Amino acid sequence: MNITINNENSMTAKTKSKKNLLEVKHLKTYYPVKGGFFRRTIGHVKAVDNVSFEIRKGETFGLVGESGCGKSTTGRTILRLLSPTEGQIIFDGNDITNLSGNKLREARKDFQMVFQDPYASLNPMQMVGDIIGEPIKNFYPGKQKKEIKEEVMDLIFRVGLPSDAYYKYAHEFSGGQRQRIGIARALALKPKLIVADEPVSALDVSVQSQVLNLLKELQDEFDLTYLFIAHDLSVVKHMSDRIGVMYLGNLIEVADKHSIYDEPLHPYTQALISAIPEPDPDRKKERIVLQGDVPSPSNPPSGCPFHTRCPMAKEACSEIKPKLKEVKPDHRVACILYD
């Protein structure tokens, strides 16, 4: 146990000095709302509204927030599976915001995704070997079949699938094994960044830890950087080096994991942390219960997006939209209380 803690600490220290692999600047992704006779755009769902953060090489950046807050949209926009409305995505020094066609296709080699639903994310008509081998075929069309198969067998073994998986179909596997297939597919191109979009939320708790540990092992082995999206706070704590908290399309707090869990600054983060179940029944915790519901992202409240539910809201909160500011070293928060 001691060893792992030391390991984690040294990792955090190591990553601090490293360069940024991904920079997201003022990213906005709006979904148009169409209506009327000619299907004109009559409004926008502001799924991601002015989000800026960076991910350092080799670290795991956790993105948390309740459902519908724009976590997945952020992840998908970064991978350019959705087109951003505004803002910039700089990956490994290159601006990938406006790439399209073949250039975008080429760029995809370096960033891959592990999907949320292990049932919907694998083509039911393909054999597992073909699923994992397809990215290699796409990017190295000259490669020999035998070579590809060897690589696929390596991957199948590496993610802990049985060796006869090659000729099987996805429906013959359990949820956890399917997620391993998805991980192997994402690894096939040896990417630099993997966006893991709630990779374990569809799995049994007993299987969750296996998949999480696999992801951690692979990170060391393949020198990966993760953007880890989740709504389960204990999972994020286990996985991440730094954490960003999202609320209604906005990033409201970014800090390393210890700061977030030990001294959360934003009232929303405080409420989230207080909601983590405490395994020790003798230790009583103060639970902050938020009132009301999340406002609609198509009609977000004025000022601070959280002021409608914030226990510490002031009058000014409904007028001024706070910006993400560094209030402590490496700890940024968007709240009027810390201005």
Q: In the complex, which residues of this chain contact another protein (CB under 8 A)?
A: 76, 79, 81, 105-106, 108-109, 112-113, 115-117, 120-125, 127, 134-135, 138-139, 150, 153-154, 157, 163-169, 171-172, 182, 185, 188-189
Cβ proximity to another protein, 57 vs 76, nearer residue:
76
* Cβ–Cβ under 8 Å, residues 64 and 88: no
**Residue 93 or 124 with smaller CB distance to another protein:** 124
SS3 content of the chain, % helix, strand, coil (to 5): 35, 25, 40
The Cα 48–Cα 246 span in angstroms is 9
**Would strands 225-230 and 60-64 be described as parallel, antiparallel, or unpaired?**
parallel
Residue 124 or 281: which CB sits closer to another protein?
A: 124
Q: Which strands, in side-by-side order, build the sheet including 40-56?
A: 40-56, 20-35, 86-91, 94-95
Shortest distance, position 248 Cβ to another protein, whole Å: 24
Report the relative pairing of strands 60-64 and 242-247 from DSSP bridges.
parallel
Smallest gap from residue 108 Cβ to another protein (A): 5
Type of residue found at 160: G
Minimum separation from the CB atom of position 49 to another protein (A): 22
Does residue 260 contact residue 269 with C-beta atoms inside 8 Å?
yes
326-329 long-range Cβ contacts below 8 angstroms, 24+ apart: 327/265, 328/255, 328/259
Nearer to another protein, 189 or 288 (CB): 189
Nearer CB in complex with another protein: 95/172: 172
Concatenated DSSP letters for 65-82? --TTSSHHHHHHHHTTSS
Q: What DSSP line would sit under 171-216, residue for residue?
A: GGS-HHHHHHHHHHHHHTT--SEEEEESTTTTS-HHHHHHHHHHHH
Nearer to another protein by Cβ, of 64 and 188: the residue is 188
Q: Please state the closest distance from residue 10 (CB atom) to another protein, in A.
A: 22
Tell me the closest approach of the beta carbon of residue 330 to another protein, in angstroms.
Answer: 31
Q: How many CB atoms lie within 10 A of CB 39?
A: 9
Closer residue to another protein, CB minimum distance, 70 or 135: 135
Shortest distance, position 79 Cβ to another protein, whole Å? 6
The pair of structure tokens assigned to 193 is 């960044």
Closest approach, Cβ 157 to another protein, in A, equals: 5
- Whole-number minimum distance, CB 167 to another protein, in Å? 5
Nearer to another protein, 14 or 158 (CB): 158
